[in-house]
Structure 1
Amino acid sequence: MGMIFQPSFAPERLLPAAERAEQAGVEELWLWEDCFKESGIAAMTAALASTERLRVGVGILPMPLRDVALTAMELATIERLFPGRARFGVGHGVLDWMEQVGRRVASPLALMREYVPALRRLLDGEEVTLDGRYVHLDRVRLDWPPQQRLPVLAAGEGPKTLALTGAVADGTVLPAGWSPSAVRGAVERIREGRAEAGRAGEHEVVVFLMTAFGPDGAAQMEEEFDRWGFSGGSRFAATGEDEAIEAVVRDLVDAGATTVLLQSLSAEADLDAYTDGVARIQQRLRG
């Protein structure tokens, strides 16, 4: 269980939010690296440095924007500074944003197929040489790789990307708007990709869940859906009292989610109260 600090919140709100999350007993706090808001790496490092136990994730780091060697260097450094507390996923990035900075690629799938295994190998301390379509490395090896294995997660939505995350990554990040039935279908595609790649073992599935606490939660969430431009089945969220929200989280876990991160309203007025709500749900699940 955990929660999301959205980039619609000013950066100066992050450290108090991280400290409050740790005090409340929240297990994980995730950030986003949306263009052109907070840096995921800088924000993650600051949040880790201001807390002692909280796990901090970034979901996601856009692959077109970030050279794979630089990403490996930054993540390895963070893992050695804060062992076992960093979590992250990489993804295609919003294509329009990538185009704005001249980094849009013709084949996001080809990029992921090269980037994620290269990142995995670099973080494992291997020397990597690759002359691919998008990733070019010549005898690159980290001097200071992580001292323990750092899982590489990848974000996906479409069926081809979901299968590819299963084939090349250690876990998959699903953004908001996935119902339990949709998560179940995604997990099937991920498993198919893993089977085709001959991969065994566990695969993490991180799901973002839009959540609004209280009797006005459903009405507030309808406005949030409109703000995001969600329609049809993607207008899925958890709203209302703690019992109702707990039930949705349990349904997602039953569908195959291994981590559920509660996502507040974009303009959440009382982030401390929201954090306390996340902690309550976490305690209910443990209880």
Structure 2
Amino acid sequence: MARIGAIFNPYTHGPDEFRDAVLAAEREGVPELWIWEDCFRTSAFAAAAAALAWTERLRIGIGIAPMPLRNVAATAMEIATVERLFPGRLLPGVGHGVLPWMGQVGARAASPLTLMREYVPALQGLLAGEQVDTAGRYVTLESVRLDYPPESAPFVYAAAEGPKTLRLSGEVADGTVLDSGHTADEVRAAVAAVRGARAESGRAGRHDVVAYVVTAFGSDAEARAVADVGDKPDPERRAVWGEPAEVADRLRAFFDAGVDDAVLLPASRVDVREFAAGAGEVARLVGADGGD
């Protein structure tokens, strides 16, 4: 079934506005609020724990936390702690990180693909309560097991954009996070690469695809949405806008392309409460439509 989420953007809103955004999302029935950890702004796991403590139903997605910044055992401990405190409400994701930023902190990986190939399976194993022993190029663990793994391990998402990373995410991760600014046709190709690689790897079970979609509600919605896409060709095909019913209708192209979860990225700076109201209505309309 198709799902809807919204994004708290750390570029247009500071941490002092986060609580208002979280409470608005809960109040307006937004199923998921996604955050990310860009250097050098806000911590993903601290923000996720706070948001979950303030709410009862809202799920928090982390899309993403950079793998090079944390030892995989530390990431597993963060996720496991939050998951045990708030079962079933965390959607944790990891990614390469922006390479220049990783260089600034002395954590840039010469081969981000190798890092992901080692890191994600180790993280999944730890969250499953397994003892993990591995000696890779970037991930080395010797008899490491969490004392308090989650009762049920959450999906581990990986951010992916290029063809090699898309395929690798399909092979090793439980879900993939696709960045905004893509047409539905481009998303369809990405989904095919992810799911094709998963099938070739022999992994069973579903792979959850999350796509960020630039979204604008209210006055001048089209102009704001198109401007947010930037100078890419056919910008009107890379965003959605209008009243909630129009947004829900335009999102159908992304769901038809194979997306499981369309996460609405506010175009420009907006009132977080107004955006949550629009996103909540879109979620109700998509749910009522059946999402297929």
Same fold (TM over 0.5): yes
Offset of residue 271 of structure 1: 1.3
Further displaced range: 110-119 or 244-253: 244-253
Structure 2 equivalent of residue 68 of structure 1: 72
Residue in structure 2 matching 1:198, options 180, 198, 202: 202
Matches within 5 A, 1:121-200: 121-200=125-204
Question: Equivalents in 2 of 1:97, 1:266: separation in Å?
Answer: 23
CA distance in 2, matches of 1:66, 1:233: 38
Q: Gapped runs of 5+ residues in structure 2?
A: none
**2:22 pairs with one of 13, 18, 21:** 18
Who is 2:254 aligned against? 252
Q: SS of the residue aligned with 2:93?
A: strand
Paired residue secondary structure (1:142): coil
Task: Determine if contact 1:6/1:266 at 8 Å carries over to the other structure.
Answer: no
Aligned pairs for 1:1-287 (under 5 A) are 1-8=4-11, 9-226=13-230, 230-232=231-233, 236-268=238-270, 270-287=271-288
For residue 88 of structure 2, give the secondary structure of its aligned residue in structure 1: coil
Give the unaligned 5+ runs of structure 1.
none
Q: Partners in 2 of 1:232 and 1:5 — Cα distance?
A: 26
In 2, the alpha carbon distance for the partners of 1:98 and 1:128 equals 26
Q: Check 1:234–1:91 CA distance in 2 against 1; reply closer, same or farther (3 A cut).
A: farther
Q: How many residues align?
A: 283
Aligned residues with identical type, % of pairs: 52
> Residues 127-156 of structure 1, C-alpha deviation per residue, up to 9 Å, x if partnerless?
111110000111100000000121111110
CA distance in 2, matches of 1:137, 1:260: 36
More displaced, 138-147 or 242-251? 242-251
Question: Match of 1:280, as an amino acid?
Answer: E
Q: Distance in 1 between matches of 2:284 and 2:90?
A: 22
In 1, distance between residues paired with 2:92 and 2:254?
A: 20
RMSD: 1.3
For the 8 Å contact 2:166–2:193, the answer to whether it is kept is yes
| Distance in structure 2 (CA, Å) of the matches to 1:78 and 1:193 | 30
For the residue of structure 2 that corresponds to 1:163, the secondary structure is: helix
Worse-superposed segment, 242-251 or 118-127: 242-251
1:278 corresponds to which letter in structure 2? A
Measured after TM superposition, the shift of residue 231 of structure 1 is 1.9
CA distance in 2, matches of 1:16, 1:219: 26
